[in-house]
Homo-oligomer: A and B are copies of this chain.
Amino acid sequence: MRVALGQFNAIVGDLAGNAQKMRQIYARAVKAGVDLLAFPELAICGYPPEDLLHKQHFLRDCSLTLKRLAADCPDKTVIVGFAEGEGAKSYNSAAVIQGGKVRKVYRKGMLPNYGVFDERRYFHPGAEPLVINAEGLDVAITVCFDIWNIRWLRKFLAGAGAIQMILNISASPFYTGKITAREKVINACAKELNCAVAYCNLVGGQDELIFDGRSIFADSTGRLVAKAKAFDEDLIIADVVPAADGTVQIEPVQPAARQPSNPVDEIYQALVLGTRDYTRKNGFKKVLLGLSGGIDSSVTAAIAVAALNCENVIGISMPSEFNSPETISDAEKLANNLGIEFHTIPIGPMLGQFHQSLQTVEGWNDEGIAYENLQARIRGCILMSLSNRFGSLVLTTGNKSETAVGYSTLYGDTAGGFGVIKDVPKTIVYELAEHINEIGGRQIIPEDVITRPPSAELRPDQKDSDSLPDYDLLDRILKGYVEEDKSIAELVAQGLPEDVVSKVIRMVDRNEYKRRLSPPGIKITPKAFGKDRRLPITNLYSHSQDTA
């Protein structure tokens, strides 16, 4: 049996567009002599559709779109994910199209409701396995999380008889290292159930999530025989061949797809895809960002150029008296290296005018946090004004380390539409800068930008290290506290200094409101700020834990 996995970039809510893409892929699969073609989980409506699923007319439109698609796929077996409404209940389902009609429907049994997932909010779990026969092979249909609990799956499929292949359609979001976990699951699934596995994953960016593709064929020994492209659409095809010895073999039709060369390259590709998709899917052509001459805005600009081409990226330098000539010139140098439109708008005149007007309120002065934040907010106003005038999306440039501790100005440098490196720890921002220069084959990000001690340049001689621990230490603490939910005591037991740990945790806790009011950004770690980590703003826990 010849099987194809149609890993494509579905757009949430674009039912007609998604179906049209699937028709085109179907035509290619037919030409390649495919017997069975699979599309990802919820391919009809994109993933995750969130509360669109509460609209009855949305569910009806999904069914209608599915029927029309089925009618246009008369010659082969096609498996496609869709949101199924039945009475007051909804299911995360896989339709089996044969002879141009939806012949059977499998309903996802295991509904994830953790991390970024809310599937129990929307769906009822299915309770019946589905095994179809295609070209003499028995194929069990599963959806995403169904194969992640092998004990459950074994039990679920127990009464279904012998199978030669498990087909899994997924929308499995990316984070660094996720592919390893996913490959382990597929390997275990093949070995435990002694069958081939065909795993079709979604690709594309959707708000804060990236789906990284990398659909997989595994043979019944668990060997991963073929893997589709990462972070791009692909159609991989293989022959699934039961052997005389009871094993099921996989014979790929195409050469192996190139994979990310290392973890930093993987993150880089995720960020490029995420930036492109958020921009394009939301109808923007161009993006706009402030260039400070620092590492964060430089890396963000380079990613934007990789995502959208240099003619669609505009850099704005907004120097004040506190910016050094070096950073100002580095901003321009970077813009030249990237070949992007570049403007300079000094903020001094506006700052002076605000200061004069605010002095009418007794107690206002030009010192401290308020005056520093005002500078960032003037910059935010400039970027948003240009965005409104020219219709370009403002990219914010804050990294995960500063987002975590609130080292940013609300409605200042956090003002914008999308945070490219919001989930990238500062230490990895540096690695990305090196990577960008390496793959560019030249010094795109000036050496100074990488080596100069980081500074917000909001007061004379300011350095990040005045307010924050070294980023190496900070990122270790943040990983433990934010991503692993460890306590102060547990972090100290790891050898981290208690005073720094306490200070950092206090900063993280106190700045929940700032994160809640910041634009979405691309998730690349196991736990990003956003749907992944839902903490109350009003929360006295950190202060009370030792006195309960």
Chain A interface (Cβ < 8 Å from any Cβ of B): 11-17, 19, 45, 48-52, 54-58, 61, 64-65, 68, 113-114, 118, 120-121, 205-207, 277-278, 281-282, 343-347, 349-350, 352-354, 356-358, 360-361, 363-365, 368-370, 373-374, 377-378, 380-382, 384-386, 388-390, 410-411, 415, 417, 485, 487, 489-490, 513, 516-520, 533-545, 547-548
Contact = CB atoms under 8 A, between A and B. Distances in A.
A493 to B, nearest CB: 12
Contacts of A54: 485
B389 A384 contact: no
Contacts of A277: 538
A278 B536 CA distance: 11
10 contacts: A12-B536, A12-B538, A12-B540, A13-B542, A48-B536, A50-B536, A56-B485, A58-B541, A118-B534, A377-B384
A541 B59 CA distance: 11
Given A52-B535, A520-B516, A548-B65, A381 B378 contact: yes
B485 A55 contact: yes
Nearest to A66: B548
B384 A360 contact: no
Nearest to A62: B548
A490 to B, nearest CB: 8
A13 B544 contact: yes
B14 A540 contact: yes
Given A353-B350, A353-B353, A388-B369, A14 B541 contact: yes
Contacts of A206: 536, 538
- Copy number in the complex reads 2
A390 B45 CA distance: 49
A191 to B, nearest CB: 26
A536 B13 contact: yes
Nearest to A44: B548
B52 A14 contact: no
A52 B541 contact: yes
A51 B481 CA distance: 13
A546 to B, nearest CB: 9
A339 to B, nearest CB: 19
A281 B354 CA distance: 31
A282 B538 contact: yes
Contacts of A520: 516, 537
A374 B364 CA distance: 23
Given A52-B539, A205-B538, A380-B411, 7 more contacts: A11-B538, A15-B548, A58-B545, A281-B538, A352-B353, A384-B411, A513-B519
A277 B58 CA distance: 38
Nearest to A374: B385
A345 B369 contact: no
A538 B277 CA distance: 9
Contacts of A120: 113, 120
B343 A353 contact: no
Q: Which of A49, A58, A358, A369 has the most CB of B within 10 A?
A: A358
Contacts of A51: 533-535
B16 A55 contact: no
Contacts of A386: 358, 361, 364, 370
B360 A343 contact: yes
B361 A388 contact: no
Contacts of A542: 13
A385 B354 contact: yes
A361 B374 contact: no
Q: Which of A65, A369, A377, A516 has the most CB of B within 10 A?
A: A377
Contacts of A114: 121
Contact of A349 (B11, B118, B353): B353
A49 B343 contact: no
Contacts of A490: 57
Given A12-B536, A534-B118, A545-B15, A357 B361 contact: no
Given A381-B378, A411-B380, A68 B345 contact: no
Contacts of A540: 11-14, 17, 281
Contacts of A538: 11-12, 205-207, 277-278, 281-282
Contacts of A207: 536-538
Given A364-B389, A385-B370, A548-B61, A487 B55 contact: yes
Given A206-B536, A487-B57, A381 B384 contact: no
Contacts of A519: 513, 516-517
Contacts of A356: 349
A189 B464 CA distance: 60
Given A345-B361, A378-B381, A520-B516, A548 B485 contact: no
A165 B526 CA distance: 47
Contacts of A389: 358, 363-365, 368, 370
B15 A539 contact: no
A536 B49 CA distance: 7
A55 B491 CA distance: 13
